[in-house]
């Protein structure tokens, strides 16, 4: 599994982890949502489960569940600020389409 984290995303993730030292890492995955099928999930991982894979990406522990693995493999995670808004941005080579608002994506 390959996940890339840009320096901006790395800095933001480290800020979250510094505020929650008991966290096992950053949980990255997908859930069914939106009009296109899947939406990304980025949150603190409280623990690493039996169905999870833990990888370290540039010093950041990233936890991905087994169902999300094939859908996020190869994804580049960035963090961008635009005016007052700030969010993680995903560049996923597995995505074959996205909804008009960009909140969800499809895979073939």
Residue 5, pLDDT score: 97
pLDDT in tens, the chain (108 residues): 799 999 999 999 999 999 999 999 999 999 987 666 888 899 999 999 999 999 999 999 999 999 999 999 999 999 999 999 999 999 988 887 766 555 666 677
Q: Give the class (CATH, top level) of 4-107.
A: mainly beta
User: In terms of Cα–Cα distance, which of 9, 13, 12, 11 is closest to 26?
Assistant: 13
């Amino acid at each position: 599994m390959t996940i890339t984290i840009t320096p901006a995303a790395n800095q933001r993730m480290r800020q979250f982890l510094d505020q929650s030292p008991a966290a096992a890492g950053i949980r990255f995955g997908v859930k069914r949502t939106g009009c296109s099928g899947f939406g990304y999930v980025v949150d603190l991982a409280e623990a690493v489960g039996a169905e999870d894979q833990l990888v370290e990406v540039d010093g950041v522990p990233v936890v991905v569940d087994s169902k999300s693995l094939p859908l996020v493999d190869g994804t580049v995670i960035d963090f961008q600020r635009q005016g007052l808004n700030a969010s993680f941005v995903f560049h996923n080579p597995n995505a074959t389409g996205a909804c008009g608002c960009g909140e969800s994506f499809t895979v073939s």
